[in-house]
Structure 1
Amino acid sequence: MSIAYLNGTFLPLDEARISPLDRGFLFADGVYEVAAVIDGRLVDSASHLARLERSASALGIRLPVSLAQIEAVQRELVARNGVTEGLVYLQLTRGAEAGRDFLAAPDIEPTLFLFVADKPVLDVPAARTGISVATMTDLRWARRDIKSVGLLAQVMAKQAARDAGAQEAWMVEDGFVTEGASSTAFIVTEEGIVTRPYSQAVLAGCTGAALTALAEESGITVVHRAFTVAEALAAREAFIASASTLCQSVVRIDGQTIGDGTPGPVAMRLRALYIAFARATAI
């Protein structure tokens, strides 16, 4: 039976109970994080925890325990559940009150919930074959730099992508790709690797940041700028990055083949570099 963590207590996941008056449920008033587990250890933990702190601070949500304590809880969950490869999910909401009001009480107690998923992230078929993405209008709010639990637009994008026979959605605003529904978007051109700079328009991807650092360290040029759908269709390669996919080639966009239709050498090299980095630095 899977063990979870809720507000200071480790307990069976199916026994975890959160109030229906929790503001995360009523208002999507909360943030979340997802970290990969490889070889039974947390990958890029400091980066994920720093982003959690930034997201919570942007919403004015207090962390109920320190980042060090959260990391200790994550590691304990991995150990208790015997996870060697998978993901740790964390959700922090402003908390629950006696009623429903847009304005929360100043002394409200946050809700902190964590659980794990045992799933492969290294040897997955999509890493060998590549994936398809479908483009669609970006319907999200303006503060995309906050990793909010308000994910309805992403859910709609994922559903539309699935209906189009794709595994991920790339969201588009004013003709430019912002990011994937649950990933950072990259293309490879004669310039090198192209990806959007971080701003309020996109989420600062932890895996994406690590990949760009590894690329630069290995002599690959990284250009931080927006790119159009037309540029993506004409690119040598395309790929995505996230905690759950690591680095994964995109071989079709809106049904059009990218490159020769197989995972490209830059993305494959970066995936290998990232896995080596993850194994060397995981805790």
Structure 2
Amino acid sequence: MTETSQIRATAPKVGLFVTCLVDAMRPSVGFAAAKLLEDAGCEVIVPPQTCCGQPAFNSGDRATTRDIALQVMDAFAGCRYVVAPSGSCGGMIARHYPELFQDDPGLSAKARAFAAKTFELVSFLTDVMKIERVDAHYAKRVTYHDSCSGLRELGVQAQPRKLLTTIDGLDLVEMRENDVCCGFGGTFAVKYGEISGEIVGKKAENIEASGADVLLAGDLGCLMNMAGKLSREGKSLEVRHVAEVLAGMTDTPGIGAPENREA
């Protein structure tokens, strides 16, 4: 066996759950996630995949959600771990898949085992792979928003900050109420647009008051919501997924930048 094949044999096989929004709106986040996982010593595969089922779940359509969950579990069955660059999708799988099948003896154990091997990207890097630092340079002042699902369902808070502070040149400053919702909440922003607008308005004020040049978070939906509000108010802050900065992949324009908008 060659040295390369020996390394591959010991590398944990990680299935990257790209997420719908990353696939459709910000593929660079998926590439950054793959780089971070490979740099951590993982064998990364991207099985054919669709949604995690969260929109249907939040709308009360349990039958459709179960069908989607079964597809996801089958697609990633051969992976030792499942990792998503999203606390929202990661939380859906890790916390709610078992709930979907709790009354089905034949599938309950399968759902629980699948949930147990599913992680949000940055928590997986720090908590499972024991990554202490990243090799990246980013000479900007950044602030970090704690997305609701990642924080409250998966306990993602210290992990991104731990790695961000190892980046050469980066200055991390905390905004007020960094752990308060941005108002997105998936379908919440659609159903309750006026309330959502008030929430993100307050969030935008706190972001600007931090004095940061860049806004980071671990969920693309939250980032798009905040970037949209900042853009409409004429603010010039750069908005990025934390994976792009950790991976040193910041050549693309920020989220919501003019170069990313449709004509």
Kindly indicate which of the two structures has a greater share of residues assigned to helix: 2
Give me the TM-score of the superposition, normalised by structure 2. Answer: 0.28
Kindly indicate which of the two structures has a greater share of residues assigned to strand: 1
Give me the TM-score of the superposition, normalised by structure 1. Answer: 0.27
